[in-house]
Amino acid sequence: MAKTKLREHNVGKTQIHYKWDKANRPAVMVEPGDVVHFETEEVTSGQIKKGDPAAKLTQLDFNKLYPLGGPVFVKGAVPGDVLEVEILDLRPGAWGWTGMIPGLGLLAADFPDPYIRYFDLGDRATAELRHDIHIPVVPFCGTMGVATDADGPVDVLPPTKGAGNIDTRHLTAGSKLFLPVFVEGALFSAGDCHGAQGDGEVCVTGIECPMTFSLRFSVIKAGHMRPWSYQFITPAAPLQPKSDAAGYHCVTALGPDLMDNAQNAVRDTIGWVTKEKQLSREDAYILCSLAGDLRVSQIVDQPNWGVSFYMPLSVFS
C-alpha cells in the first residue's frame, strides 16, 4: 500500500488574530492528518521588549494581547464533531519574561505594583531565577482552542466553551488535545506560549515567550463533547520528572472556600521561600507561578476543603 504523502502548512507571525470570532478568515485550510507549523510572538505581541522596566506592564494595550496563530480550517469538521490536535514539537524563542500586572493574579491585593523578570531560553534546559534557583523549561501553548458559535468577537483572556486560554502545563510535545467543534472547519488557533509554568499560573504569567510549534489535526466524527470542556492524553511517561526529582515542600490550607484556601496556600509558600531561601517576596511569587503546583487535596469533607501548594525542591541547588 502506498504511503500517503505528509501535507504540511505554515502559519507565520503575521497570520494572527486577537479575538475569537467565527467570522475570522482562515489562515490555512487543511485536510485531516495534515501538519501545521506555527510561529508566534509572546503574549503582548511585542509590546514587552527584553529589558523594559516593570512600569511598561501598566501601559499595555489589552486589545493587542494574545496574538493567536490561525485560524486553521480543518476540512470535514462540523458542529458536533471533535477536533483532535496532536502536539508534535515546541521550541521556545531566545528569551521570555514573567511579570506581575496590577489587578491580576491570585494574590493581586498582596502585590499591587508591577514587577518583571527576564529569562534566557533558546536551547537551555532551565531558566535561571538566581544562580542557585533553576526552573525546568517545559514548553507548551497557553492558549489552544476553537471558535464558538457566538456572534461577534470574544475576548481571549477568559477561557470559552471552545477552550482557548486554558494554561494547561501538561499539553507538552507528545500529548493529544480534544476539543468540541462549534462551527464548520473548527477554526482552531493557538499562541500565548510558555517556556515554563506551574499548575495555577498564580501570578498570572508563565515564562511568556515567542515559540515555534507543530501540530497535527484530525477529526472525530460525531464525537459530541460537552461544551465548556476539553480532554487530553499525555505521553506514556512520567508526567513531570524534572519537578519530581528531589521531592516537594507542600503547604495545605483548610477552610470552606477553595479560592481563599488557594490564596493562603500560596501565601504560606511565599513565606517559606522568603525565609528559607532569602528571596524577595516578588521573586518568591514569580517562582510559585513558574514552578509550583496548586492541587485540591480533598473536596468531600464538608464544610472545610483542602488546597495544597507543591513547590519542587529540585529548583533549589
Average model confidence (pLDDT) for the chain? 97
**228 plus 266 within the same structural domain:** no
Q: Looking at residues 9-16, what average pLDDT do you find?
A: 98
**128 plus 224 within the same structural domain:** yes
Q: Which domain holds residue 245?
A: 241-315
Cell numbers 477536533 label which residue?
Answer: 83
Domain boundary among the residues 233, 268, 303 is at 233
**90 plus 74 within the same structural domain:** yes
Domain-located, residue 2: no
| Structure confidence at residue 209 (pLDDT) | 98
Q: Looking at residues 265-278, what average pLDDT do you find?
A: 98
Domain boundary among the residues 215, 233, 251 is at 233
Cell representation of residue 120:
534566557
Q: For residue 18, which amino acid is it?
A: Y
**262 plus 199 within the same structural domain:** no
Helix (H) or strand (E) holding 98: strand 95-100
Bond from prior residue into 312 cis (ω within 30 degrees of 0): no
Please give the Cα distance from 111 to 108 (Å, whole number).
5
Q: Looking at residues 261-281, what average pLDDT do you find?
A: 98
Q: Is the pLDDT of residue 1 over 90?
A: no
CATH number of the domain bearing residue 131 = 2.60.120.580
Please give the Cα distance from 153 to 24 (Å, whole number).
9
Q: Is the pLDDT of residue 4 over 80?
A: no
Domain-located, residue 1: no
Please give the Cα distance from 31 to 222 (Å, whole number).
17
Listed residue (115, 118, 116) closest to 95, CA to CA: 118
| Structure confidence at residue 5 (pLDDT) | 75
Selected residue with higher pLDDT from 3 and 169: 169
* Distance separating the N- and C-terminal Cα atoms of the chain: 54
Domain-located, residue 310: yes
**275 plus 299 within the same structural domain:** yes
**226 plus 253 within the same structural domain:** no
DSSP β-ladder status, 16-17 and 140-146: unpaired
| Structure confidence at residue 2 (pLDDT) | 53
Listed residue (72, 76, 81, 43) closest to 215, CA to CA: 72
Domain-located, residue 3: no
Q: Looking at residues 29-43, what average pLDDT do you find?
A: 98
Residue 94 DSSP symbol: S
**111 plus 145 within the same structural domain:** yes
Q: Is the pLDDT of residue 6 over 90?
A: no
- Count of domains for the chain: 2
Q: Count of alpha carbons within 13 Å of 196, Cβ hemisphere only?
A: 31
**55 plus 89 within the same structural domain:** yes
CB 164 within 8 A of CB 191: no
Please give the Cα distance from 248 to 314 (Å, whole number).
8
pLDDT tens readout for residues 78-128: 999 999 999 999 999 999 999 999 999 999 999 999 999 999 999 999 999
Q: How many CB atoms are closer than 10 A to CB 220? A: 15
Q: Looking at residues 260-288, what average pLDDT do you find?
A: 98
Listed residue (87, 85, 88) closest to 179, CA to CA: 85
**229 plus 248 within the same structural domain:** no
Share of the chain above pLDDT 90, in %: 97
Residue count of the chain, please give it: 317
**292 plus 201 within the same structural domain:** no
**74 plus 105 within the same structural domain:** yes
Please give the Cα distance from 259 to 291 (Å, whole number).
20
- pLDDT-based confidence at residue 3 (cuts at 50, 70, 90): low
Share of the chain above pLDDT 70, in %: 99
- pLDDT-based confidence at residue 15 (cuts at 50, 70, 90): very high
pLDDT tens readout for residues 146-205: 999 999 999 999 999 999 999 999 999 999 999 999 999 999 999 999 999 999 999 999
CATH number of the domain bearing residue 297 = 3.10.28.20
**171 plus 103 within the same structural domain:** yes
Domain boundary among the residues 177, 212, 233 is at 233
